[in-house]
Each structure stands twice: as C-alpha cells, then as structure tokens.
Amino acid sequence: MAYTVGDLVAEFLTACGVATAFGIVSIHNIPMLDAIGRRNAIRFIPVRGETGGGHMADAFARVTGGLGVLITSTGPGAANAVPALVEAQFAGSPLLHLTSQTATPYLDRDMGAVHDVPGQAAMLASVCKAVFRIRSTQDAFGTLCAAAACALSAPTGPVTVEIPIDLQRAAMDRPAELDRLVLPLRPPMPPADKALDAAAEILLRARRPMLWLGNGAREAGAAATRLLDIGFCAVNSWNGRGIVHDDHARTLGSLHGNGAPDIEAFYATADAMLVVGSRLRGHETMDHRLALPRPLIQIDIDPRANGRTYPSEVFVCGDATLALEGLRQRLQGRIAVDPAFGDDLADARSRARLAYGRSLGPYADFPAQLRAVMPRDAIWVRDATVATHTWGHRLIPVHGPRNAIHPVGAAIGPGLAFGIGAALAVGASGRKTLMLAGDGGFALGMTELWTAVQEQAPVCIIVMNDGRYSAIGHLQDALAGGRRFYGDLRGPDLMRLAELAGLPGFRVDQADQFGTTVARALAVPGPSLVEVDMHAIGPAPAYLSAPRV
C-alpha cells in the first residue's frame, strides 16, 4: 500500500506527541482520517459539530500544554470551526486545525466544486495566528512542521493547515525526519538587561509592590513565587488562575478589583505593579477604568503589548520566567518591603470575599459547598453566565496553572465542549472535571452531550436553569429602562434530556443540597448532569450590581 500525504499527517501528529484529536469525518478528509484509523495510535473523537470539536481541542491544549488538534472538511466544515478558532486566539491556545481544500486543479477558481468556498484561507487567517497550505507532496512535511511550531511558539495560538483532497491521497516517500522529529520551536526570548535594570530601579523604590499574572505567565509560577518570597503580593487575571495557587498567603487570586471596593482600596496603598503576560482585559478592569497601582511595569513576549491597554513606565519584552528571574536577582537582598503588606492583603481579600458572598442571595453558600466536594486538582470549567461572573470566577479557589478554563472572549456556549475536552485530557489519570453553565449557554452546544456519552468523558455538568438570559436581563434593566425583550427561553426538561442522552441526571431544588448533589454526580463514572432549579431556589444575583457592594 502506497504511503500518502494522509499517512504523513497521521504519523506526524503521533511524532508530535498528539494522542487525541477531534473532528468530523467528511468526503474531503477521509484520506487523513483513514490513515489515523489504520495506524490506531491516535484517539479520534467524532464530535457533533465542528464548533464543539474546536472548543474541545482548545480545552485539551489548555489542560495539557500540548497541541490541540481539530480536523474538519472544506468550506462549511471549516467555517463552522471559526467560533472555536476565535476563542482559541483570545486564549492563546496552541490549536492545530487541519482542514481540506478542493482539488488542486480547481483551487481558487470558484468553479463550484463540492464544499468549495472562495476565500477560505482569508476567512481562517482572520481568526488564526497563521494559515498554511500544502501545495505538493514535496512541501507537505515542511509545511506541517512549520505550522505546528508556529502554534506552539510563544505567543501561542491557533494555526490552520489546508490540504487539498487530491494531495491527501497522493503517494510520497516517507520522510526519514519523522524518526527524529524535533519541531523548530522558537527558544524563550531573553529580556534586555537594560530593560530589567530600569524595571529593577523602579521596584527597589517600592515598599508595597504587586504582581498581576496573566496567561503569558502560565509557565512562570515558580519564578513568580520567588518574588512573593521576597515580599511581593500577587493577583491574577481570570486566564491566569492558579499560576500562584489560590491558597498562597500573598495572593488575591482572581479578586482583581473589578467591582470590589475593598480591593480597589487596597490597590491605593500599593506603590508599584508588575504586569506579566496579561492584556489587562476590559472585562476584568472595568473597560480599563480600574485604577491600578503606579508606577506600572509590563513584561510581555509580544512587543505590541506595550501601551496596548494601560501605559507603563517600563516595558520589558521577553520570556516571563527569564524576566521574573532576572528581576529577582536584581532585587534579592536589596528591596525593603513593608512588613504589614501581606497582612493588609489578607484582610482585603477576606473582606472582599465576604462582600461577594453577601451579594449572592440564596446562592451565598454555593462556592463553599462546591469547593468542599471538588478534589484539589479538579479542572474547573466555566461557561459565560451570571453564576460564573458573580462567583465562579472569583470564589472557587484554583490550585494549578492549567486547572481552570473559561471563554476568554466572553462568549456563551463553549462550556460543555470545554468540559468534555478537559475531561478527556485528564480523565485517564482519575482527575475530575466540573463544568458550570447557564441554561442559555448550555442550549448552544447541548448536542455534544452525545459526544460525552459516546466517549464516556468524566465530566460533571452543572446547569444553572432559570429559563432566561439573566445577564442580558440585568443589562437591559440598566441600559434599556428595564425592557427585557427576547431574553426568555423555552428549553427541554433537563432530567428527561439526560435520560434521553443516556447519562445520570440530578436536580437541585434546595440551596443546601447543592454540594451533596454534586458529590453524588462526581462519584458516577463518565458524564453526569446536575440541574440547579433556580425557579425553586431564587433569582440569579444581579450581574451588574452584585460585584459592587
């Protein structure tokens, strides 16, 4: 049997360490998926939609730190992947999207071939870090290497490779380099000494310096902790959760000040902030109106980050770990930090957590109940919903830099697919995954329940069900004079849906039953569904007013 480009794709993914891939089999990717099936070295997850498959591959990459892989067909199939690629770009996920193209004689000629969409590459380029096209058997291996290296090199992100259907079938010589594959990843970028010297000069004058840790600091937890050891305090973005474990005495965790007067007052007492690998997104900084400590120093691998949101006194372009370690060497034994700084942070954190809890009404005990039954190393997945914004992001402690996933782009709907992808990444090791969604977001991807059941993904799915888009209703109250148009939803009976899909369902209709019910669901092998009946328990906390108490 001849060795083909389809065989190369299958063997290349294995050589890259890929053991799981997601997608939908179609007329234009049969050669690739046939090769994957014949080799039987990769677990292929047949999803119910390309969007869901992309979100699963994204979550798989976030949890493992490796390459997430999505395989789609030409045209409509590739277009269906766009929402997931948008989110992967927001989150900086190393996702490799392998899609097909029409046969090479018809490429870019708009001749009406099946699934042919003129401008497919341009469409994908608008939402990807890069788009590559294999143009011959000779360039196939090099193109795959370049694409995977691009996705995995900082700043990481989604990359697409188009492979025309006739080339997928084309015979080629097997590249000997597969036996010794080393991807040409860019090495960590060392920061300039002059920039580190300038940053250290400012920090040496500070007595209450803070770190803000974002996704770009995900691998820099040890270096960040060494700065805490010499007196810094820390806070993290929602996409930087767990870089410093939330139970460390000198971190605010994700209580980063958006709508928390106690944290804002604490910031006013700090006299420097070192921002590492974070965009300081508007969703987390009140559209950049949050008053952060000054002077502000920024570390980022991307030079375009300089001044993108908040202006900085010093910008250090380089790898987060190298930059933090360089600063520690310059500050160790020389910086004089206020001995009361850590105690003041602990007091502000305690007061802010209590204030948030008081704003939750009948859901005040939900965070504590849930954390009590979650294993310490559980993967905590949140969809965009009121429960996520009011307590899921802020009040559930996270202990590990890859233990929390949410839609960074703030879209509703990815949560279920995220939960499945994360569960398939860690489930074999016995780790648990919990996913929190509202009924509106859950409805957008509920067909993936059948993927979860077919693959027996060990994910506990928690749906806060009130039959409406509560966050939008709160926004309409504030912005549209209380006129709540188009936000009420009719959905299925979730317990009957669970029965239909073939997974255990549990309903919570009393607030004090939440934790024990989730514990029962977590004990079930494979997927389970927990519905929180908000009509019985009470209305959702106010999306706008609850955080500012």
Provide the 3-class DSSP secondary structure of residue 272.
strand
- Enumerate the β-bridge partners of residue 161: 98, 132
Backbone angles phi, psi at 100, to 5 degrees: -95, 175
Separation CA 263–CA 347 (nearest Å): 10
- Whole-model pTM: value is 0.96
Give me the pLDDT at residue 545, please. 42
Give me the pLDDT at residue 108, please. 83
| CB contact set of 492 (below 8 Å; sequence gap of 6+) | none
Separation CA 432–CA 273 (nearest Å): 35
Backbone angles phi, psi at 113, to 5 degrees: -65, 155
Question: What integer is the mean pLDDT of 324-344?
Answer: 98
Hey, what are 59's tokens? 């979550």
Hey, what are 297's tokens? 């120093």
Separation CA 63–CA 60 (nearest Å): 5
Confidence of residue 547 (pLDDT cuts 50, 70, 90): very low
Note the pLDDT tens digit of each residue in 133-163.
Answer: 999 999 999 999 999 999 999 999 999 999 9
Give me the pLDDT at residue 544, please. 56
Note the pLDDT tens digit of each residue in 310-320.
Answer: 999 999 999 99
H or E element, residue 296: strand 296-300
| Angle, CA 31 vertex, CA 27 and CA 36 arms, to 5° | 120
Three-class HEC string of 174-191: CCHHHHHCCCCCCCCCCC
Question: What integer is the mean pLDDT of 94-110?
Answer: 91
Contact 382, 408 (CB under 8 A): no
Three-class HEC string of 245-269: CCCCCCECCCCCCCCCHHHHHHHCC
Question: What integer is the mean pLDDT of 506-512?
Answer: 98
Q: Which of 95, 103, 110 is nearest to 50 (CA)?
A: 95
Hey, what are 298's tokens? 């920024």
Q: Which of 454, 485, 491 is nearest to 472 (CA)?
A: 485
pLDDT over threshold 80, residue 112: no
H-helix segments, 364-507: 366-373, 386-387, 415-426, 439-445, 449-455, 470-479, 494-501
Separation CA 406–CA 422 (nearest Å): 11
Note the pLDDT tens digit of each residue in 39-53.
Answer: 999 999 999 999 999
Separation CA 284–CA 221 (nearest Å): 21
Note the pLDDT tens digit of each residue in 519-533.
Answer: 999 999 999 999 999
What's the first-to-final CA gap in the chain, in angstroms?
A: 69
Separation CA 404–CA 398 (nearest Å): 7
Provide the 3-class DSSP secondary structure of residue 99.
strand
Q: Outline which parts of the chain fall under CATH 3.40.50.1220.
A: 193-351
If one looks up domain 193-351 in CATH, what number appears? 3.40.50.1220
Question: Which residue pairs, CB below 8 angstroms and at least 24 apart, start in 472-481?
Answer: 474/386, 474/542, 474/543, 474/544, 474/545, 475/543, 475/544, 477/544, 478/544
Counting residues of the chain whose pLDDT is more than 70, the rounded percentage is 99
Q: Which CATH architecture has domain 359-537?
A: 3-Layer(aba) Sandwich (3.40)
Please report, as a single letter, which amino acid is at residue 486.
Answer: Y
Confidence of residue 546 (pLDDT cuts 50, 70, 90): very low
The answer to whether the bond into 295 is cis (omega within 30° of 0) is yes
Separation CA 92–CA 389 (nearest Å): 21
Q: Which of 29, 125, 107, 18 is nearest to 72 (CA)?
A: 29
pLDDT over threshold 80, residue 543: no
Question: What integer is the mean pLDDT of 404-428?
Answer: 97
Counting residues of the chain whose pLDDT is more than 90, the rounded percentage is 90
Contact 447, 49 (CB under 8 A): yes
Give me the pLDDT at residue 548, please. 38
Note the pLDDT tens digit of each residue in 162-181.
Answer: 999 999 999 999 999 999 99
Give me the pLDDT at residue 473, please. 87
pLDDT over threshold 60, residue 549: no
Note the pLDDT tens digit of each residue in 223-266.
Answer: 999 999 999 999 999 999 999 999 999 999 999 888 789 999 99
Q: Which of 499, 515, 510, 507 is nearest to 531 (CA)?
A: 507
- Rounded to the nearest integer, the mean pLDDT of the chain is 95
Q: Outline which parts of the chain fall under CATH 3.40.50.970.
A: 5-180, 359-537
Separation CA 240–CA 253 (nearest Å): 9
Separation CA 320–CA 423 (nearest Å): 29
Contact 520, 338 (CB under 8 A): no
pLDDT over threshold 90, residue 117: no
CATH T-level fold of 5-180: Rossmann fold (3.40.50)
Provide the 3-class DSSP secondary structure of residue 236.
strand
Q: How far is CA 405 from CA 72, 239, 428, 456, in A?
A: 24, 7, 19, 20
Higher pLDDT, 111 or 267: 267
- Enumerate the β-bridge partners of residue 210: 233, 273
pLDDT over threshold 50, residue 282: yes
Question: What integer is the mean pLDDT of 412-423?
Answer: 98
Contact 503, 528 (CB under 8 A): yes
pLDDT over threshold 70, residue 6: yes
Question: What integer is the mean pLDDT of 346-359?
Answer: 94
Note the pLDDT tens digit of each residue in 190-230.
Answer: 999 999 999 999 999 999 999 999 999 999 999 999 999 99
